[in-house]
Structure 1
Amino acid sequence: MTKLTGKVAIITGANSGIGLATAKLFAREGAKVVITGRREEALKEAASEIDGEVLAITADAGKIDDIKRVISTTVSKFGSIDILFPNAGIAPFFPVEQTSEALFDEVIGTNLKGPFFLVKEAIPFLNDNGVVIFNTTIAHTKGFPHTGAYVASKAGLRSLVRILTSELKEKGIRAVAVSPGPIDTPIFSKLGKSEEEVEQMGAAFAAQVPLGRFGSADEIARAVVFLASSEASFVNGAEIVVDGGLSQV
């Protein structure tokens, strides 16, 4: 398993869930992995679970100074970057009428502004034929209630994929996205809902999926590895859906 041998990859929000699963798989495939997260202890624990060369940087994915430090520290350590996976995101679900300006700014700052400026700071150090992979969502195609700020941020990422596909083509850098459906990750415990509400929400989502279940972080990670590898060398500007068929029926 050496699809990514020698590649340098940055994964934000890698304390747990999709980010951590992807970091583990990247390392198994031979990549040098840079992981970030806001919680230092959780990040250290995550790093200890990764079997390979890993650099852990405590950073807030929505803060410009932290973003610049992630890029400069990575380049100082490894010289350049091959794979960028701005995965960090938050998903507080509230109706539009209950969404405060502060909450909206937090969601957009973490989910859209952060990835935008991570890419901006990384571009001078992205190797030719590198790849930028965003983590979007099928929700931007469905119109689920109570997802306004979250979906707005993810729809912005989908559009950014198309822009970067054009802007980075001279260096052969691909821009793509993985679009998960309902995935069993810790993000569902951070929705600002009670445990009962989270369980009800989860059951409702699972019932709508043709495969009848949530996906796993590992299933998303395998899709990200494909997108990052030479096996996807002609996949560009695309959003790969991994949702058990939910968005197709």
Structure 2
Amino acid sequence: MKPIYHDFDEAVKEVKDGATIMVGGFGLVGIPENLILALQRSGVKDLTVISNNCGVDDWGLGLLLKNKQIKKMIGSYVGENKEFERQVLSGELEVELTPQGTLAEKIRAGGAGIPAFFTPAGVGTPVAEGKEIRSFNGKEYVLEEALTADFSFVRAAKADHAGNLVYNKTARNFNPMIAAAGKVTIAEVEELVETGQIDPDRIHSPGIYVQGLIQGDQEKRIERITTRQG
């Protein structure tokens, strides 16, 4: 049995100023909406946030950005966030942009206990500046260090009381690897069932990676709605 929270503010209360957090999602797909809102309400600041991107101006991690709660952002995509652009250009926000595949592997490695790895992505670009370069079979690779976090916040479609998680289609994205890489992982889930009700072959994140659960409804906003003219 994993701890089950009934209040989102309670679920994030251990996050302190200066913490490093990972947040699942890609754009607005698969983000833990209610946990992000609770972080905004908490007023916690000077956060280092590791996530694929920083939401949009008025939703997702963009809310924490707008509220000046993020000190450093580690991600792969700036997206359509004007406040993100403004804070970067004004020097208010430190940003570490990483190729998306490299970011995914840095997080996966962190969850697997692998301290670093070599990758060809970024060789010969500013991404490789100050990092070790090594040649394997005549090709150059850059050394990238793994990423972990004090807290990971993810969203799943379903969980059981043992913390086993199932994600829905593309909402899986970065969530499984982020769930594994946090010292404390809290999962916001749409449906909570009894242990044993999820087919073991369908489990995406084993409960060993999850320290807390909370059930909630999500708005599931669409980042950009495009319609065809009739």
TM-score, with length taken from structure 1: 0.38
Structure with greater proportional strand content: 2
Larger of the two Rg values belongs to structure:
2
